[in-house]
């Protein structure tokens, strides 16, 4: 019982914080913060997923921008491509009845039939999961950091293909992505009067991811991942299938990125190729490092703050450089995260009373 | 026929550049275990710095100075950042090189803006050509091939016969034993970075007249160089040459089948194939660090 | 209950032959010792049995299953558990968590069940925790359960590693120099512990430097020198074997390197 309370408490506190933040913003009449805040929430979901790969499985992924774009573009393409001319009317009717299809008329009154957002979302997740599997399977069988290069290459290719294909709208990307009605009154869209609802949708999604990842890291699979970090040889000798576990973590994290990409695309009503830019992926990586690597709470906090500031344009032309520089500083000065660094500093400040007698903590 | 020859020449030229990047990767990887993500940035720096210097001094001097400057930057990266890391895990070292590559690129953007620049052709002009077996090729192609050939030859002699080269090989084979034999392994690491920086810069100079230099050219070169290194066998410096030529030729011939926009995907497809089929490359190094998990 | 068979195992590293045509069998429930001077190839042999290394020639089989060529986690799945010469515990975790890793191979809840905290996974997790606590209790380490391993002394870490291996419920336990770094008292405790393990029906394969421990607990002993088997038999025979005495008590080394 006590364990259940201890497990639920942080989530309850987070929920209270979410509500409090909304009330403060509304009270301060700063509703225009909401748009960037919602975007920051979705990007933070990517960062939290990456935290699983970097902090727990100990692998570098430079492809999360690509996965995000893959999710977003799949949703965008499937919900904007007109199927009215390609399918027979009976088929259209049947598909619409079971909720897969969505018929309406376009601006000029012509019939428009597209896939509904739900099946498009599911397709986006499946596609991204499959791609991550293909990338991760060979790279994670090997010892070393092959995944980093494989994913960097993947991100680059996605970016170039998006820029170079008519199918994905070249540099303009895809616009006119319809709102996604999750439930009556709950719609993912960027409409002004819908901002508070969308804030809660994004927060709800974030809380779900937090819950999901905390469960994972607290379970036997999380323990096994941490054991790989400590000693991969010993973990393997104890029966932990390390390549499979790393692959699973990588695929989960890619699918989370795709889910965030899909939601943000519906929120923004479109998506552009810059989402797959290598720099986006480096940003996600920076935020995980700045949060303390194997620290989901840290990654979440740092990511929300910095992404929000970046989206507000606080860093100006130095936006990229800030993230690159931060990455170097964090890894060289505070490799265990700024939290631990501050804690260590404070401990060193305090005069050590019994430092003479006791032996130093055994090195690990 | 001459069309095919034309493709072959352009493939070999680009392949030679990828080969140099691959050699740089391999050098650093075999002595330090790091995948240096800033490797492509060295090529960019070499070209850009040489363009700037060439306004004040004759071309050969400008190139030599650019190579020296880049080597210094590379050495500084090792001595200033990588060596001083508090946590020496591979993960942290790799992440630092990712951060450095971004910072170098952004610094280049601030210094040289987004404009595409290039060095003048070493001999002749843009339009001059030499006929080789019926294909018209630019004299710069010969410069590229000659330079890369010289690099490979010099490195070969260096590793085989010089004391420093032997020490470097010892470090990669067994760092602890090398240290016990009195080799200063950290200086060796710095030297390795400097050499790989110099190689990259030289490649950046010879290729600049043909493909131009721009602040963001590094990433795609890094990927292709890495694909070349993987194909040859990671950690084996000279095998990268074969890998580079394969990537370059595959890319050049792909243009005849695929839309040009997908050219970049070819190197990546080769990289994935290498990972799937021959993770130790075509010429695996004995006792290489990469072993199947 | 299975029999471990090592058949003509040779392992070369470049020009060096670390093991040369080594064969032996470990019967179910036996205590089998491997001894030899430094560099005799004991640890290489251990790594080959546990799947961390692959022999250049020969094979290892456990019961009906060929282990050679299988990754270590698949070997562990067959009921083999091992410890390491330099103690490979997981320092960032508590003692209990270390032991629970040993239970990993007995868990069935999938990754999604873990992520969604399904009831089945929660029950399993609670059961594993209880199992880990029971094993710690048996080894008189219950009071250390919540201590991070990084805070333990070397001898205690060794016991954690043993607890972790026992938690896997192996039918064959491989101990790589379990007495190195232990005090005489701790070594005596260890001998008693090994006998108790055998009473549970677990076979023990022991690589050791400490002759008295090996002579004390083992029923069969294999002696290696420069990767070759030089003797094999009961402790009493080994003690009187001329070549073993030569290797251990000095004299001219047999030129076995070539």
Measure CB to CB from residue B291 to each of A143, A160, A163 and give the nearest one: A143
Q: How many CA atoms lie within 13 A of B219 on its CB side?
A: 26
Report, as an integer, the average pLDDT of A282-303.
Answer: 93
| Residue contacts between B and C (CB atoms, under 8 Å) | 4
Considering chain C, what percentage of its residues have pLDDT values greater than 90?
64
* Residues from chain A contacting residue C121 (CB–CB below 8 Å): 219
Considering chain C, what percentage of its residues have pLDDT values greater than 70?
96
In this complex, do C14 and B293 lie within 8 Å of one another by their Cβ atoms? no
Selected residues 24-63 of chain B with any CB under 8 Å from a CB in chain A: 33, 35, 37
Which chains reach chain C with 3 or more Cβ–Cβ distances below 8 angstroms?
A, B
CA distance B223 to A156: 9
> ipTM of the assembly?
0.89
* Residues from chain C contacting residue B287 (CB–CB below 8 Å): 13-14
More confident: A25 or A110: A25
pLDDT at A359: 38
Q: What is the CATH number of domain C4-79+170-248?
A: 3.40.50.300
More confident: A332 or B203: B203
Render each residue's pLDDT in chain B as its tens digit; 293 residues: 678 888 899 899 999 999 999 999 999 988 888 889 999 999 999 999 999 999 999 999 999 999 999 999 999 999 988 888 877 787 888 889 999 999 999 999 999 999 999 999 988 887 888 887 777 888 899 999 999 999 999 988 888 888 888 887 777 777 777 777 778 888 888 999 999 999 999 999 999 998 889 998 998 899 899 999 988 888 777 788 999 999 999 999 998 888 777 787 888 888 888 887 877 778 775 543 333 33
Q: Closest Cα of chain B to C71: distance in Å? A: 8
* Residues from chain A contacting residue B261 (CB–CB below 8 Å): 160-161, 163-165
Q: Closest Cα of chain C to A175: distance in Å? A: 35
Q: Are C221 and C214 in contact (CB under 8 A)?
A: yes
Q: Closest Cα of chain C to A126: distance in Å? A: 15
Q: What angle do CA A330, A135, C76 make, to 5 degrees?
A: 90
Minimum Cα–Cα distance from A62: chain B residue: B98
The pLDDT tens digits for C46-102 are 999 999 999 999 999 999 999 998 999 999 999 999 999 888 999 989 999 999 999
Inter-axis angle of helices A242-268 and A220-230, nearest 10: 110
pLDDT at C241: 87
The pLDDT tens digits for A205-214 are 999 999 999 9
In this complex, do A324 and B81 lie within 8 Å of one another by their Cβ atoms? no
**Model confidence at A231: pLDDT above 70:** yes
Selected residues 165-224 of chain C with any CB under 8 Å from a CB in chain A: 165, 168
Q: What are the tokens at C173?
A: 């336990």
The pLDDT tens digits for C226-244 are 889 989 999 989 888 888 8
Choose from A153, A245, A284 for mutation: most chain B CBs within 10 A. A153
pLDDT at A1: 57
Minimum Cα–Cα distance from C105: chain A residue: A239
Q: Closest Cα of chain B to C72: distance in Å? A: 9
pLDDT at C148: 94
In sequence order, the β-bridge partners of residue C24 are C6
* Per-domain residue ranges of chain C: 4-79+170-248, 94-156
The pLDDT tens digits for A131-174 are 999 999 998 988 777 899 889 889 988 998 898 888 899 999 99
DSSP class per residue in B99-137: HHHHHHHHHHHHHH-S--B-PPPSSS-TT--EEETTEEE
In sequence order, the β-bridge partners of residue C31 are C204
In this complex, do C90 and A361 lie within 8 Å of one another by their Cβ atoms? no
CA distance A125 to A75: 9
Q: Are B252 and B14 in contact (CB under 8 A)?
A: yes
Give every strand in the sheet of C16-26, ordered side by side: C16-26, C4-13, C57-62, C65-66
**CA proximity to A45, closest of A19, A66, A64, A18:** A64
Task: Give all domains of chain B, ordered by start, each with its CATH number.
Answer: 2-277 (1.10.3470)
3-class secondary-structure state, position B226: helix
CA distance A224 to A236: 10
Q: Are C178 and C162 in contact (CB under 8 A)?
A: yes
Measure CB to CB from residue A238 to each of C104, C115, C151 and give the nearest one: C104
In this complex, do A156 and B276 lie within 8 Å of one another by their Cβ atoms? no
B174 touches chain C (CB under 8 A): no
Q: Closest Cα of chain C to A134: distance in Å? A: 19
Selected residues 11-50 of chain C with any CB under 8 Å from a CB in chain B: 13-14
**Which range has the worst mean pLDDT, B128-132, B153-157, C40-44, C250-254?**
C250-254
pLDDT at A364: 37
Choose from C104, C105, C123 for mutation: most chain A CBs within 10 A. C104
Selected residues 243-272 of chain B with any CB under 8 Å from a CB in chain A: 259, 261-262, 264-265, 267-268, 271-272
**CA proximity to A277, closest of A123, A62, A107:** A62
In this complex, do A223 and C101 lie within 8 Å of one another by their Cβ atoms? yes
């Amino acid at each position: 019982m006590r364990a259940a309370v201890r497990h639920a408490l942080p989530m309850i506190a987070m929920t209270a914080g979410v509500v409090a933040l909304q009330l403060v913003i509304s009270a301060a009449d700063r509703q225009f913060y909401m748009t960037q805040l919602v975007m920051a929430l979705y990007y933070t979901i990517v960062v939290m997923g990456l935290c699983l790969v970097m902090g727990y499985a100990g692998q570098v992924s430079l492809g999360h921008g690509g996965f995000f774009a893959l999710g977003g573009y799949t949703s965008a393409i499937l919900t904007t491509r007109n199927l009215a001319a390609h399918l027979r009317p009976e088929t259209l009717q049947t598909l619409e009845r079971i909720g897969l299809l969505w018929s309406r008329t376009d601006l000029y009154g012509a019939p428009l039939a597209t896939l509904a957002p739900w099946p498009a979302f599911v397709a986006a997740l499946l596609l991204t999961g499959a791609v991550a599997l293909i990338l991760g399977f060979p790279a994670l069988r090997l010892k070393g950091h092959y995944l980093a290069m494989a994913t960097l290459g993947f991100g680059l290719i996605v970016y170039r293909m998006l820029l170079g294909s008519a199918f994905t709208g070249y540099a303009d990307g895809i616009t006119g992505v319809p709102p996604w009605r999750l439930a009556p009154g709950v719609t993912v869209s960027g409409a002004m009067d819908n901002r508070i609802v969308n804030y809660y949708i994004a927060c709800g999604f974030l809380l779900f991811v937090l819950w999901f990842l905390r469960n994972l890291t607290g379970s036997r699979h999380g323990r096994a991942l941490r054991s790989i970090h400590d000693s991969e040889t010993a973990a393997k000798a104890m029966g932990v299938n390390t390549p499979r576990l790393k692959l699973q973590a990588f695929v989960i994290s890619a699918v989370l990125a795709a889910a965030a990409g899909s939601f943000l695309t519906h929120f923004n009503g479109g998506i552009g190729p810059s989402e797959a830019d290598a720099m986006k992926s480096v940003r996600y990586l920076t935020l995980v490092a700045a949060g303390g690597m194997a620290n989901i709470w840290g990654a979440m906090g740092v990511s929300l703050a910095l992404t929000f500031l970046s989206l507000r344009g606080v860093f100006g032309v130095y936006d990229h450089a800030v993230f690159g520089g931060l990455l170097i500083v964090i890894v060289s000065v505070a490799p265990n995260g700024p939290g631990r660094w501050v804690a260590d500093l404070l401990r060193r400040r305090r005069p050590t009373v019994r430092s003479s007698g006791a032996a130093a903590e055994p090195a690990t | 026929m001459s069309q095919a020859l034309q493709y072959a020449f352009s493939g070999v030229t680009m392949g030679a550049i990828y080969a140099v990047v691959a050699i740089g990767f391999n050098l650093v990887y075999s002595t330090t275990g790091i995948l240096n993500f800033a490797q492509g940035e060295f090529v960019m720096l070499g070209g850009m710095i040489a363009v700037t210097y060439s306004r004040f001094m004759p071309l050969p001097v400008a190139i030599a100075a650019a190579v020296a400057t880049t080597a210094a930057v590379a050495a500084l990266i090792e001595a200033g950042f990588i060596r001083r890391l508090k946590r020496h895990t591979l993960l942290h070292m790799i992440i630092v090189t990712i951060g450095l590559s971004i910072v170098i690129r952004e610094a280049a953007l601030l210094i040289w803006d987004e404009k595409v620049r290039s060095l003048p052709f070493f001999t002749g002009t843009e339009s001059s050509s030499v006929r080789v077996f019926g294909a018209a090729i630019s004299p710069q192609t010969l410069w590229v091939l000659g330079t890369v050939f010289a690099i490979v030859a010099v490195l070969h002699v260096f590793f085989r016969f010089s004391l420093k080269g032997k020490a470097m090989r010892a470090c990669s084979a067994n760092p602890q034993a090398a240290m016990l034999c009195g080799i200063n392994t950290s200086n060796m690491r710095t030297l390795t970075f400097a050499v790989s920086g110099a190689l990259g810069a030289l490649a950046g100079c010879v290729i600049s007249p043909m493909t131009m230099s721009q602040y963001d050219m590094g990433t795609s070169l890094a990927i292709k160089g890495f694909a070349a290194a993987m194909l040859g066998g990671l950690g084996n410096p000279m095998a990268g040459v074969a890998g580079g030529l394969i990537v370059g030729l595959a890319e050049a011939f792909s243009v005849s089948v695929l839309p040009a926009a997908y050219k970049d995907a070819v190197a990546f497809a080769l990289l994935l194939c290498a990972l799937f089929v021959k993770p130790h490359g075509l010429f695996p190094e004995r006792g290489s660090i990469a072993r199947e998990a | 209950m299975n029999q471990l068979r090592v058949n003509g195992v040779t392992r070369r590293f470049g020009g060096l032959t670390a093991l040369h045509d080594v064969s032996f069998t470990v019967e179910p429930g036996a205590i089998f010792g491997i001894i030899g001077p430094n560099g005799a190839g004991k640890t290489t042999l251990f790594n080959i049995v546990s799947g961390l290394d692959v022999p250049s020639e020969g094979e290892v089989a456990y019961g009906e299953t060929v282990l050679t060529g299988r990754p270590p986690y698949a070997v562990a799945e067959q009921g083999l558990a091992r410890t390491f010469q330099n103690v490979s515990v997981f320092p960032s975790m508590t003692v209990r968590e270390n032991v629970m890793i040993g239970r990993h191979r007995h868990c069935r809840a999938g990754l999604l069940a873990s992520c969604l905290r399904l009831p089945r996974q929660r029950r399993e997790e609670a059961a594993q925790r209880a199992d880990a606590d029971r094993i710690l209790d048996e080894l008189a380490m219950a009071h250390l359960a919540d201590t991070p391993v990084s805070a333990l002394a070397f001898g205690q870490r060794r016991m954690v590693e043993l607890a972790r291996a026992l938690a896997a419920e192996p039918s064959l336990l491989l101990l790589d120099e379990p007495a190195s770094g232990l005090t005489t008292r701790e070594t005596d405790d260890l001998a008693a512990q090994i006998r108790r393990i055998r009473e549970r029906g677990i076979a023990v394969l022991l690589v050791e430097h400490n002759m008295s421990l090996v002579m004390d607990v083992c029923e069969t002993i294999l002696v290696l020198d420069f990767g070759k088997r030089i003797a094999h038999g009961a402790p009493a025979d080994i003690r009187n074997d001329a070549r073993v005495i030569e290797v251990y008590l000095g004299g001219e080394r047999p030129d076995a390197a070539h």
